[in-house]
Structure 1
Amino acid sequence: MSDLERRLARLEALESIRDLDARYCRALDDGAWDTLVSLFTDDGEFVGLSRARGHTELRAFFAGLADAGLTAFWHHVTNLEITLHGPDSARARSFLWQPCVQDGVPHIAAGRYTDTLRRIGGEWRYVSKQVSFDYFVPLGDGWDHGRFTVASAAATYPGRRSA
């Protein structure tokens, strides 16, 4: 493989991973659960408000968010940092900003995603997608006054104790 071919393959991998994140956000926000879980490997996991592994658990977790009071959300992901570990393995970190509605109350949340990815059959998939929140608070309270008012979000933040 020539240098130009390697560079092109690298750029295509980076863009495909960026596209995977965009599709994840859209499927999650639209409630397209089958599409959402198809973005994970068969044994893929989500770690955050809870832990779900495999397509059956992932679908049940994401589809059950409304039952837990999280009835609307809009995921905005930016500042994607991707590290390729060969042609079929990668790690990524990104910033999450998420307005949402929890128990009928507008909230604002922000944090980080940390992803482990693998290319299977030419398509990138999540092996693990982990979210940790910097804050998850009622919008009226302001983000700087009530950090970690949602205990499950606080527990996902490394180095912090639950509220």
Structure 2
Amino acid sequence: MTQHADLVACHELTQAKAKYCRTLDTKDWNGLAALMVDDVEFGMSDGESEPHMTIGRDETLALLQSLVSGARTAHQVHAPEIDLNEDEAQVIWAVQDRAVFDDGTSVTGYGHYTERWVHQGDAWRLASLLLTHLITDVH
């Protein structure tokens, strides 16, 4: 890739991740699904135990829906570390996510998304995601 193409790819990846956070927080499941490859791998970990993994877009969406059901959420990412290799990118994002449930319980997590994105057609699609919470506050 040229330096210009790398900059364009980095911009497109940050836009795709911003859309991921927005569609998850607004529960736009069709918009979220459109960002994923069919056989997306999704996992969550506390940084110490083996991550719980799902494989496939439908399974991943079902898991995400179950996790945020009855909650208002806000996912914020920043400080991306982007490693481009042609039509594939490895990205690590710092993340802070918050869920406030109907019963008043709130959970705030701090950690990292470790992801693999692939360029398909004219867009970047999420191929794998591992969310690792290093700190979790429950109130």
Give the TM bin, normalised by the shorter chain: 0.7 to 0.9
Counterpart in 1 of 2:73?
Answer: 73
Show structure 2 runs of 5+ residues with no match.
46-51
Aligned in 2, Cα 1:9/1:57: closer, same or farther, shift over 3 Å?
same
Residue number among 5, 9, 18 corresponding to 1:13 in the alignment: 9
Q: CA RMSD in A?
A: 1.8
Give aligned-pair identity as a percent.
28
Residue number among 24, 34, 39 corresponding to 1:38 in the alignment: 34
Which structure dedicates a bigger proportion of its chain to strand? 2
TM-score by length of 1: 0.74
TM-score by length of 2: 0.86
> Would the aligned equivalents of 2:68 and 2:99 in 1 still touch at CA under 8 Å?
no
Deviations 1:86-141 (A, max 9, x none): 2x0110001011122255312221110000111001211111011000111224xx
> Would the aligned equivalents of 2:117 and 2:124 in 1 still touch at CA under 8 Å?
yes
Show structure 1 runs of 5+ residues with no match.
140-163
Structure label with greater radius of gyration? 1
- The answer to whether residue 46 in structure 2 is matched with residue 47 in structure 1 is no
Q: Which amino acid aligns with 1:75?
A: H
CA offset at residue 52 of structure 1? 2.2
Greater relative CO, 1 or 2 (CA 8 Å, sep 6+): 2
Q: Which amino acid aligns with 2:37?
A: T
> Would the aligned equivalents of 1:109 and 1:135 in 2 still touch at CA under 8 Å?
yes
Alignment of 1:122-137 (within 5 A): 122-137=122-137
What is the SS of the residue equivalent to 1:31?
coil
Q: How many residues align?
A: 132
- The answer to whether residue 91 in structure 2 is matched with residue 89 in structure 1 is no
Counterpart in 1 of 2:18?
Answer: 22
CA distance in 2, matches of 1:130, 1:72: 21
CA distance in 1, matches of 2:138, 2:3: 45
